[in-house]
């Protein structure tokens, strides 16, 4: 089971590997830099070498990086869009240096300019970044939670973006369970999971699914609320997660939690729950 958490790089980027190992993770996700700003420092060669050394010695085969919070590759605002594309290019380069093969990207918001405009911008951003960076890193478009003006909450939107990508071998999808549920795709039980993943296969194609974010939802079905909850404590529940993570198209994918760490529990709590639901 490729199961892990989004771990901190605080102190040094290679410490993320230690934190993942301490949690018993078999995969993990990181930000390669401070996610709350536009500026960043270049990775030092010594940092990269130590990350790669620890990654290999710990026996990891796959990890993900996540784009910072500020970029919006669907934005109609010229300055924000250009900065967002620049960030995407930089993250592709940084992932290549670190040996991280999967880069998760929020599809973003069209800010009221219309879904078609947003989809065009996303596809253009991805094409530009892939043209500029030649490596083995795949961009994974993360489904959105149905927020107002969001692009990529519907499978049809994701399929439309993918149809406009020139180098499709380097682009795939990361499905977030909270976002799925909030956007109106039911995964509360076996039948619902089957129906939703069949729909995804029909519209997007399960062969484009490379990774999964496992988060329960504080909002109800179709709420449009992107609020993560502990596994089994939200509207999706234990039954839904058991059906989802054991589905043939999901169970061998890298799965990462981005759940809260509060008085109700932490990463260890949620990883333990998911391991108990996984059927060997």
Is 14 catalytic? The answer is no
For residue 14, say whether it is annotated as part of any ligand binding site.
no
Q: How many CB atoms lie within 10 A of CB 5?
A: 25
Is 33 catalytic? The answer is no
- Check 93, 101, 142, 157 and give the catalytic one: 142
Is 261 catalytic? The answer is no
- Check 94, 106, 110, 154 and give the catalytic one: 106
- Check 14, 154, 179, 230 and give the catalytic one: 179
Is 230 catalytic? The answer is no
Query: Sign of dihedral through CA atoms 64, 23, 197, 121?
Result: negative
Q: Are strands 255-257 and 29-30 parallel, antiparallel or unpaired?
A: unpaired
Burial class for 263, CB neighbours closer than 10 Å (0-12, 13-18, 19+): exposed
Q: How many CB atoms lie within 10 A of CB 210?
A: 20
Is 18 catalytic? The answer is no
Is 270 catalytic? The answer is no
For residue 179, say whether it is annotated as part of any ligand binding site.
yes
Is 179 catalytic? The answer is yes
- Check 210, 228, 229, 230 and give the catalytic one: 228
Is 190 catalytic? The answer is no
For residue 142, say whether it is annotated as part of any ligand binding site.
yes
- Check 6, 14, 66, 154 and give the catalytic one: 66
- Check 94, 154, 213, 230 and give the catalytic one: 213
Spatial contact of 216 and 236, defined as CB atoms under 8 Å apart:
yes
- Check 57, 69, 82, 131 and give the catalytic one: 69
For residue 176, say whether it is annotated as part of any ligand binding site.
yes
Is 69 catalytic? The answer is yes
For residue 226, say whether it is annotated as part of any ligand binding site.
yes
- Check 157, 226, 229, 270 and give the catalytic one: 226
- Check 50, 113, 186, 258 and give the catalytic one: 258
**Binding-site annotation, residues for Zn(2+):** 66, 106, 142, 176, 179, 213, 226, 228, 258
State the binding site: 66, 106, 142, 176, 179, 213, 226, 228, 258
Q: Active-site positions? A: 36, 66, 69, 106, 142, 176, 179, 213, 226, 228, 258
């Amino acid at each position: 089971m490729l199961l892990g958490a989004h771990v901190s790089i605080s102190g040094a980027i290679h410490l993320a590997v230690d934190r993942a190992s301490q949690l018993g993770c078999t995969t993990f996700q990181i930000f390669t830099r401070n996610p709350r700003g536009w500026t960043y420092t270049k990775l030092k060669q010594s940092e990269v070498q130590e990350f790669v050394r620890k990654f290999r010695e710990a026996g990891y085969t796959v990890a993900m990086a996540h784009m910072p919070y500020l970029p919006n590759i669907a934005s109609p605002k010229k300055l924000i869009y250009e900065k967002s594309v620049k960030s995407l290019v930089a993250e592709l380069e940084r992932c290549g240096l670190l040996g991280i093969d999967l880069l998760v990207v929020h599809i973003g918001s069209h800010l009221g300019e219309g879904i078609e405009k947003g989809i065009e911008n996303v596809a253009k951003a991805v094409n530009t970044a892939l043209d500029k960076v030649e490596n083995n890193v795949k961009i994974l478009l993360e489904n959105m939670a149905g927020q107002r003006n969001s692009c990529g909450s519907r499978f049809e939107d994701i399929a439309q973006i993918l149809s406009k990508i020139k180098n499709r071998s380097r682009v795939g999808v990361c499905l977030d369970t909270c976002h799925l549920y909030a956007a109106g795709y039911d995964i509360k039980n076996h039948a619902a999971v089957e129906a939703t993943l069949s729909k995804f296969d029909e519209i997007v194609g399960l062969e484009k699914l490379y990774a999964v974010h496992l988060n329960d939802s504080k909002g109800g079905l179709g709420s449009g609320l992107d609020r993560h909850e502990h596994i089994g404590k939200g509207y999706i529940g234990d039954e839904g997660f058991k059906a989802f993570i054991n589905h043939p198209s999901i169970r061998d994918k890298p799965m990462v939690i981005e759940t809260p760490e509060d008085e109700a529990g932490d990463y260890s709590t949620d990883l333990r729950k998911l391991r108990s639901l996984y059927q060997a």
